[in-house]
Structure 1
Amino acid sequence: MVAKISLGNSLYAALTYNTEKINKEKGRLLDTNKIYNDGSGSVNTHRVYEDFQRWMPAHTKTERPMMHISLNPHPDDRLSDTDYTRLAHEYMQKMGLGDMPYLIFKHEDIDRHHIHIVALRVGTDGKAVSDKNNFYRSKDICRELEKKYGLKPAERQRVSPDTPIMKIDPAGDLKRQVANTVKLVGMRYRFQTMGEFNAILSLYNVKAEQTDGRVNGREYHGLVYFATDDNGKVIANPFKASRLGRFASRAAIDGRFERAKKEIDDKALAQRTKRIVASVLIRSSGKEDFIERLKAEKIDVVFRYSAEGRIYGATFIDHNTMCVLNGSRLGREFSANAFEQRFNEGPVIDTPVVPVQNIPEDNARTVGNENRNQTDSDSSRSQSQPQPEARTNSRHGHVQTDNSDYMPSIPGLDLFQVGPGYDPEEEAFYRAMQRRKKKGRRPKF
């Protein structure tokens, strides 16, 4: 069983978060301690908040007087409501919080059912229950309860460079899968634009979309993520980046753009990809043959099509160098217009493909700089084209587009730790609670 503990100063926010789960029929109130409970499984937020205030001391130096705990058994454990309730009460008793007011919620919004506990950690005398070594005490208690109730041991699973990236399974936990994909893609691949970012995401049935606007007079710039099927059709409501984690935020992705530019330029990685693509293109009899031959070289190509079927974008994903590159970055002969002419209109006359000679590493940077000036204009022209939704052709492994299933960005919609104790929405909630703390101001209850 994995326990996650968060301290906060906004009791009302914690209550609202859990109450919204209940209102959406994705959870229920199991039990309470020293707080009103009518036994219906629902919660009157205002009534419960008033009950908590009765136990709150008039004066306390504790800046974060409440705590939010999630208890997450192993996904294979199937517990009844009675089991969850007993587990929660015993956990609180062993943590020294058995006499504090608290509520026990069960969350059922994902396949892995789990419980949340909202509690005060300050007594009527104004003194807080010690949180010293909370992490180690909690871990020992979880191991003890697992043995007592015959539960399977569960530990937080951390993402590593060896963790495989999997395509979205529509039957699974979509939030968690999207979070996995975005985090792992960001850890491993280098990309410099949203188009390149989406090209690599599309291989795993995920796409990202920028959201810009104003809310209550404040300007915002964010990202939302979509889970799709093999045809690129959206299969669920979008997830805000904040529900995935900081690694998925627009600021984080923009930072990856900047780092990728330096890394690709410094290592002349584009030249390595260019040599392979040029060699394959010369030997290819057509588009499908070109795609298959590249796959044999561990390079995926993503073509983007207009509504009329015209190629307006081409992006190469080199799994050898872990670089994602728009075709125009490699040279004019690899731009969208060149491929459109070669594959849809006939052989290319004015932009012949010339095999790229092996370039010594010492000279690779110079060559990359010469090509960059030539390709910048092509890249900007390609990005100025409209961007209909990418759709993967499962037969041939490349991406097509279809405007009919396109979902526009929806400003304001809500959205990492992987494993049985991870829930992206909970992670976002914990971070929000930490931000509520403001120095020099009296805590809000």
Structure 2
Amino acid sequence: MVAKISIGSSLYGALAYNAQKVNADEGKLLATNKVFDGGDGQMDCTRLLRDFCNCMPENVRTRNTVIHVSLNPHPDDRLTDMEMANIAQIYMERLGYGNQPYVIVKHEDIDRHHVHIVSVNVDEKGKRIDRDFLFRRSERIRKELEREFNLHPAERKRNEIREAAHTVNIDKGDVKKQIASVLLSATTRYCFQSMGEYRALLSLYNIHVEETRGKVGRREYHGLVYSTTGDKGNKVGNPFKASLFGKSASYAAIEKRFSLSKKQIAEKKFTEPTKRAVLQTLGETYHRAKFVNLLKAKGIDTVLRLTDEGRIYGATFIDHRTGCVLNGSRMGKELSANALQEHFTLPYADEKPIPFTLHPEETVQKEFIIQDDNENPSFGLGILNPSSQAVNAEEEDSIRKMKRRKKRKGKGRTM
């Protein structure tokens, strides 16, 4: 379970955000404390705001009076509404907010159901609630609740590969909700530096994004439109404007994400582990399909853009281990589209290696020759040289005898 805490000053904004989820059937009001609950499952922001304000003096010195907490269980933790409410109430009690007014709202707009808690940092006497070491205490309480309720721990194991969103399936219905879930994951978990890399990431989940430009009166606009795609990448269903998914999916937010990602990738050197893995895999095979499968097993998805003739004109690698999306050319010329195309189109790329065998009729019988001390040391090695001719043993014996005779005659003349 992950616990996130935000401190702010807009109480109405925090309540309205959660009320919007509840009243749009994308959330549930699970429990309240010291504030009104009509029992109809709806949230009356005006009434709730009045009740919250009645629990603290009109004039308080504390500037940031609002605390907004989200508790996010692991996707594999299947909790009932009662269990979620119970966990949230225990969390607030141990954090020191048990006597404070608060509302607990379950969000169901994405597959990973979670709860939001809205409360205030000032008690009825205007005294500020103890916020010293707030985040440290929250971390301790979170771990205690994981053990007590047998929940999955929040810490991410090293090299753990887990996708945070599911591929959009138009047959399941509520396509807007499915796209919203993917966009939330993509814009928070991954780093990408261009619209092409963002588009490649979304293509893994059957989503296509395209830019729209226009002019309304004298004002120019630049936006994004999201569509679902079929198995072959063709657009299906109705497109959705980015404004339907909130500011985080807008063109301005995605553009800011580019510059932020660039900084994070440079500081944390995310490019290096991805590049090493891709180069190592390239060295293992010349088969394109096998290359893609080997990388996928390592936690890296490969998106290849192909012409109608099947030629690679673009390659993007999505490393789920680091949460980084990188075009091949960004990692070096050896991973550019042209380099990959050349690698996968070599003459022997689609052939199996031919084992080396030496047939019996091609073998050569070797004769080992004992060399004389006075002979040239390299003479006997000629038999191992394919260009040399075989030497008859009788001829060698005759040559040695002639050399001995010449030596004896030379000695006799000297005397």
TM-score range, shorter chain: 0.5 to 0.7
Q: What residue identity is the alignment partner of 2:151? A: K
1:46-445 alignment, distance < 5 Å: 46-148=46-148, 150-157=149-156, 163=161, 169-170=167-168, 174-180=179-185, 186=191, 194-195=195-196, 198=199, 201-202=202-203, 205-211=206-212, 221=222, 223=224, 226=227, 228-232=229-233, 233=235, 237=240, 240=245, 242-243=247-248, 249-253=254-258, 301-303=304-306, 315-317=313-315, 323-324=327-328
Residue 106 to residue 167, structure 1, CA distance change in 2 (3 Å): closer
Q: What residue identity is the alignment partner of 2:315? A: I
Instruction: Give the drift of 1:143.
Output: 2.3
Q: 2:293 & 2:73 partners in 1: Cα distance?
A: 43
Moved more, 163-172 or 228-237: 163-172
Instruction: Give the drift of 1:87.
Output: 2.2
Instruction: Give the drift of 1:247.
Output: 11
| SS across alignment from 1:63 | coil
Task: State TM-score, norm by structure 1.
Answer: 0.52
Query: Which structure's relative contact order is higher, taking Cα pairs within 8 Å and 6+ residues apart?
Result: 1
Instruction: Give the drift of 1:221.
Output: 4.6
Q: What residue identity is the alignment partner of 1:26? A: E
Q: Which runs of 5+ in 2 are unaligned?
A: 173-177, 266-274, 296-301, 319-324, 339-415
Q: 1:208 & 1:118 partners in 2: Cα distance?
A: 34
| SS across alignment from 1:46 | helix
Residue 231 to residue 241, structure 1, CA distance change in 2 (3 Å): farther
Q: 1:87 & 1:201 partners in 2: Cα distance?
A: 34
Residue 231 to residue 97, structure 1, CA distance change in 2 (3 Å): same
| SS across alignment from 1:249 | helix
Residue 254 to residue 103, structure 1, CA distance change in 2 (3 Å): closer
| SS across alignment from 1:29 | strand
Q: Does the CA-based 8 Å contact 1:168-1:227 persist in structure 2? A: no
Q: 1:82 & 1:70 partners in 2: Cα distance?
A: 16
| SS across alignment from 2:29 | strand
Task: State TM-score, norm by structure 2.
Answer: 0.56
Q: Does the CA-based 8 Å contact 2:14-2:118 persist in structure 1? A: yes
Q: 1:75 & 1:37 partners in 2: Cα distance?
A: 29
Instruction: Give the drift of 1:291.
Output: 7.8
Quote the RMSD (CA, aligned, Å).
5.1
- The superposition leaves residues 43-92 of structure 1 with CA deviations (integer Å, 9 ceiling, x where unpaired) of 11111112112223222222210111112233333333332222222221
Q: 1:166 & 1:88 partners in 2: Cα distance?
A: 23
Q: What residue identity is the alignment partner of 1:35? A: V
Instruction: Give the drift of 1:255.
Output: 7.3
The percent of aligned pairs where both chains have the same amino acid is 34
Q: Which runs of 5+ in 1 are unaligned?
A: 261-268, 281-289, 335-445
Q: 1:199 & 1:26 partners in 2: Cα distance?
A: 29
Q: Does the CA-based 8 Å contact 1:185-1:201 persist in structure 2? A: no
Q: 1:91 & 1:258 partners in 2: Cα distance?
A: 35
Q: 1:70 & 1:42 partners in 2: Cα distance?
A: 20
Q: What residue identity is the alignment partner of 1:323? A: N
Say which one has the larger Rg: 2
